[in-house]
Amino acid sequence: MAEDPPGPPQRLRHTEHVMGTVFSFDLRHPPTRANRAALREAVAWLHHVDRVFSTYRPDSAVSRIGDGSMNVRDAPPEVDRVLSMCERAETASRGRFSARAGGRLDPSGLVKGWAAEQAYGILRAAGAPNSLVNGGGDIRLGGEPAPGRPWRVALADPCRPGGVLTTVEGRDFAVATSGGAERGPHVLDPRTGRPAHRLLAATVTGPDLTWADCWATAAVVLGADAHAWIGSQPGYELLTVGLDGRARRSAGFPLRVTDGP
C-alpha cells in the first residue's frame, strides 16, 4: 500500500480488473490526452498478457503449449522471452523458482511482475515516468510522487491482519511480497510439488518488478537460507517474517528511519 504525500500534484488514476487480480495505476502527471492514451495502452497490454499467458483460458498460448496443441515457436514472441526468463530464474534460485512447480506449465509466478514492469515502461516511454503500477500488491514505483519526495509503501504485517509491519521508501524501485499469510500456503516448492511453509512472508525490493516478484517467491521456498542467497542478486534486498513472527532484513533493505520490524 503506497502512502500519499501531502499536497500531491495533478494526477491520473485508474483501476483495472485483469489477470485474475486488480491492477491500479497512479500517474503523478496531469491528465492530458497523451497521458490518458499511454494509460489506455498500458491497460490494453495487460489484457493482451492475460490472453496469452492465462492458465485459466484454454485458448491461451500457454494453455495450448501445455496441452501440446501449440509449439513455442508458433506462439507470440513474448512467450519465448518469458519462458527464457523463467529458466534464468530457476537457475539463479537454485531450483526454488520454476514455471513447472505444480507439474504443468505455469509461468504465472513471473508473468504478473513482468507485465506490471512492462506497463510501467509504456508510461515512462510516453513521458509519464512519475507513476505507480500496482499489480495485486506487487508494485513498480517510478520516479517520485512529488518533487523532492520519495515513494513510501506500507508492508502488511502477516501476524496482524490489517496491521503494518514497516514502511519502505525510495525513488524508482519495485517491491514484491510473497507468502501465505492472506491466501494460505500457495507457493509451491518445485522440488516436492507441495506448498512451502518455511516463512510467513518475504518481501523483495529492487530495480525491476519482474525479478523482485520472482525472488520473493523463491525466498519463501528457501526460508531462512534466502538471506544468504539474496546477496547473489545485485540490487535486490530482502525482508522476511519467520513462522515465529520474527522479522529479519538484509543490510540494504530500504526501511524508513523511523520504522523497523
With CA atoms as reference, report the closest residue to 87 among 74, 77, 100, 75.
100
pLDDT band at 254 (very low <50, low <70, confident <90, very high): confident
Given a cut of 70, whether residue 218 has pLDDT beyond it is: yes
Which whole-number Å values give the CA distances from 47 to 39, 54, 199, 232, 256, in the listed order?
A: 13, 10, 32, 34, 35
Alpha helix (H) ranges present in the chain?
A: 33-53, 61-67, 77-92, 108-125, 209-222, 226-229
Give the model's pLDDT for residue 260: 44
Give the model's pLDDT for residue 257: 42
pLDDT band at 177 (very low <50, low <70, confident <90, very high): very high
pLDDT band at 54 (very low <50, low <70, confident <90, very high): very high
- List, edge to edge, every strand of the sheet that includes 237-242: 12-18, 21-27, 131-135, 138-141, 173-179, 199-206, 237-242, 247-249
Give the model's pLDDT for residue 1: 60
Given a cut of 80, whether residue 4 has pLDDT beyond it is: no
Given a cut of 70, whether residue 24 has pLDDT beyond it is: yes
Residues 6+ positions from 132 with CB-CB distance below 8 Å: 2, 24, 25, 26, 27, 28, 139, 140, 141, 142, 145, 151
Contact 37, 28 (CB under 8 A): no
Q: Report the alpha-carbon angle 143-148-154, nearest 5.
A: 65
Give the model's pLDDT for residue 102: 87
Give the model's pLDDT for residue 258: 43
What per-residue string of b and e applies to 150-178 under the rule 16 or more CB within 10 Å gives b?
bbbbbbbbbeeeeeebbbbbbebbbbbbb
Average confidence (pLDDT) over 125-145: 97
Which whole-number Å values give the CA distances from 227 to 101, 154, 196, 245, in the listed order?
A: 22, 21, 16, 16
- Check residues 140 and 179 and name the one with the higher pLDDT: 140
- Check residues 182 and 165 and name the one with the higher pLDDT: 165
Q: What's the start-to-end Cα distance of the chain, in Å? A: 17
Given a cut of 90, whether residue 9 has pLDDT beyond it is: no
pTM: predicted TM-score of the whole model, two decimal places? 0.92
Give the model's pLDDT for residue 182: 63
Residue 2 identity (one-letter amino acid): A
Query: Which tens digit of pLDDT belongs to each residue from 75-110?
Result: 999 999 999 999 999 999 999 999 999 899 999 999
Tell me the average pLDDT of the chain: 93
Give the model's pLDDT for residue 261: 44
Beta bridge partners of 169: 152
Given a cut of 90, whether residue 175 has pLDDT beyond it is: yes
Question: Grid coordinates standing for 235?
Answer: 540490487
Given a cut of 90, whether residue 51 has pLDDT beyond it is: yes
pLDDT band at 19 (very low <50, low <70, confident <90, very high): very high
- For 205, phi and psi rounded to 5 degrees? -115, 155
- List, edge to edge, every strand of the sheet that includes 164-170: 2-3, 151-156, 164-170
Q: Say what angle helices 77-92 and 209-222 make with each other, to 10 degrees.
A: 40
